[in-house]
Chains A and B, each alone.
Chain A
Amino acid sequence: MNIELPPLVALLLFPGGLFILFSSTVYEWADRKLVAQFQNRIGPRLIQPVADVVKLLAKEEIVPDGVNPVLFHALPVVALVGTLTAALYVPMAGLKPSYSFTGDLVVTLYLLSLMTLSMGLAGANTIDRFSLIGATRALTQLFSYEAPFLLALLGPAIIAGSWQIAEVDQFARGHWWIVATQPIGFVVAVVGLMGKLELPPFDSPEAETEIVAGPMTEYSGRGWALFRIGRDIELLVGLTLMASFFLGGIANPIEFLLKTGGLLLVTAGLQSLFCRLRIDQTVGLWWRIGILLAVAQLFLLVFLR
Chain B
Amino acid sequence: MDTQQEPRKTFVVPIGPQHPALKEPGHFEITVDGEIVTAATVRLGYVHRGIEKGVEGQNWAQAMYMLERICGICSHVHATAYALGVEALAGVQVPPRAQAIRVLVAELERVHSHLLWLGVAAHEGGFDTLFMYSWRDRELIMDVLEGLTGNRVNYSCNVLGGVKFDVDQKQSDAIRSAIDFLEPRTHHYLKIVTTDETLIGRTRNVGTLTAEEAERLGAVGPTARASGVARDIRVDSPYAGYPSFPVKTITAAAGDLEAKFIVRLEELFESYRVIREILDNLPPGDLSVRVKPRLPAGETVSRVEAPRGELLYYLRSAGGPNPDRVKVRTPSLCNWGTVLATAAGHKLADVPMLIAGIDPCFSCNDRLVTIRRRGDAETWTWARLRQYGIEYYR
Say if the two chains contact directly (CB < 8 Å): yes
Q: Which residues of A contact B (CB under 8 A)?
A: 38-41, 129-130, 133, 136, 200-201, 203-204, 207-212, 272-281
B128 pairs with A280, CB closer than 8 A: no
Closest to A272 in B: B129
Q: Which positions 135-188 of chain B face chain A at CB distance < 8 Å?
A: 136
Instruction: Please state if B13 and A39 are interface contacts (CB–CB under 8 Å).
Output: no
Can you pick out 19 interface pairs between chain A and chain B where the beta carbons lie within 8 Å of each other? A39-B129, A39-B133, A129-B14, A130-B13, A133-B32, A133-B35, A209-B20, A209-B123, A209-B352, A210-B352, A212-B20, A272-B129, A274-B127, A274-B198, A275-B126, A275-B127, A275-B130, A276-B125, A276-B349
Contact of B21 among A40, A210, A274 (CB under 8 A): A210
Given contacts A133-B348, A201-B126, A210-B349, contact A275 B13 (CB under 8 A): no
Q: Is B196 an interface residue (CB 8 A)?
A: yes
Chain A CB within 8 A of B285 CB: no
Query: Which residue of chain B is the closest to A201 with respect to CB atoms?
Result: B198
Known contacts A201-B198, A204-B349, A275-B202, A209 near B14 by CB under 8 Å: no
Whether the pair B348, A210 counts as a contact (CB closer than 8 A) is yes
How far apart are the CA atoms of A41 and B126 in the complex, in Å? Answer: 18
Number of interface residues of B (CB under 8 A): 33
Contacts of B123 in A (CB 8 A): 209
Q: How far is the CB of A54 from chain B (nearest CB, A)?
A: 25
Residues of B near A136 (CB, < 8 A) are 34-35
State in angstroms the CA–CA spacing of A130 and B19 once bound together: 11
Contacts of B132 in A (CB 8 A): 39-41
A273 touches B129 (CB 8 A): yes
In the bound complex, do residue B11 and residue A277 qualify as a contact, i.e. CB atoms below 8 Å apart? no
Report A-chain residues with C-beta under 8 Å of the C-beta of B129. Answer: 38-39, 272-273
Q: CB < 8 Å: which of A200, A274, A279 contacts B349?
A: A279
> CB < 8 Å: which of B133, B201, B350 contacts A275?
B201
- B126 with A129: CB separation less than 8 A: no
User: How far, in Å, is A212 (CB) from chain B's closest CB?
Assistant: 6
Is residue B12 within 8 Å, beta carbon to beta carbon, of the partner chain?
yes
Interface flags for B356-382 (1: CB within 8 Å of A; 0: not) read 000000000000000000000000000
B267 contacts partner chain A, Cβ-Cβ < 8 Å:
no
In chain A, what residue has the closest Cβ to B350? A278
B35: contacting residue among A40, A41, A279, CB under 8 A: A279
Contact A275 B199 (CB under 8 A): yes
B12 cross-chain contacts in A, Cβ below 8 A:
129
Q: Is the CB of B136 within 8 A of A275?
A: no
Q: Is B124 among interface residues, defined by CB-CB distance under 8 A?
A: yes
Chain B residues with CB under 8 Å of chain A are: 11-14, 19-21, 32, 34-35, 122-130, 132-133, 136, 196, 198-199, 201-202, 347-352
Q: Pick the contact of A276: B11, B126, B196 (CB < 8 A).
A: B126
Most interface-central of B126, B198, B351 (chain A CB within 10 A): B126
Residues of B within 8 A of A130 (CB): 13
Is B201 touching A281 in the complex (CB atoms < 8 A)? yes
Nearest-neighbour CB distance to chain A for B98, whole angstroms, equals 38
Partner of A207, one of B32, B34, B349: B349
B128: chain A residues at CB < 8 Å are 39, 200, 272
**Given known contacts A209-B20, A278-B202, A280-B35, A129 and B11 CB-to-CB distance under 8 angstroms:** yes
* C-alpha gap A279/B126 in the complex (Å): 13
CA distance A129 to B9 in the complex (A): 13
Cβ–Cβ < 8 Å partners of B196 in chain A: 274-275
- A278 — nearest CB in chain B belongs to which residue? B349
Q: Most chain-A CB neighbours within 10 Å: which of B20, B347, B349?
A: B349
Please measure, in the bound complex, the distance between the C-alpha atom of A41 and the C-alpha atom of B119, giving whole angstroms: 15
Expressed in whole angstroms, the minimum distance between the Cβ of A35 and any Cβ of chain B is 8
Query: Measured between alpha carbons, how far is A129 from B198 in the docked complex, in Å?
Result: 27
Residues of A near B350 (CB, < 8 A) are: 278
Contact A200 B126 (CB under 8 A): yes
What 9 pairs across the A-B complex have the smallest Cβ distances? A276-B126, A275-B127, A39-B132, A275-B198, A209-B21, A274-B198, A278-B349, A275-B199, A272-B129
- Name 13 extra pairs, CB < 8 A, besides A136-B34, A209-B126, A210-B349: A130-B13, A208-B20, A209-B124, A210-B21, A210-B348, A212-B19, A274-B196, A274-B198, A275-B122, A276-B127, A278-B201, A280-B35, A280-B347
Contact of B126 among A38, A133, A207 (CB under 8 A): A207
| Min distance, Cβ A240 to any Cβ of chain B, angstroms | 27
Q: Nearest-CB distance from B207 to chain A (Å)?
A: 13
B12, B19, B32, B133 — which one has the most chain A CB atoms within 10 A of its CB?
B19
Which single member of B11, B14, B136, B347 contacts A278 (CB below 8 Å)?
B347
What is the CB-to-nearest-CB distance from A79 to chain B, in angstroms, rounded to a whole number? 23
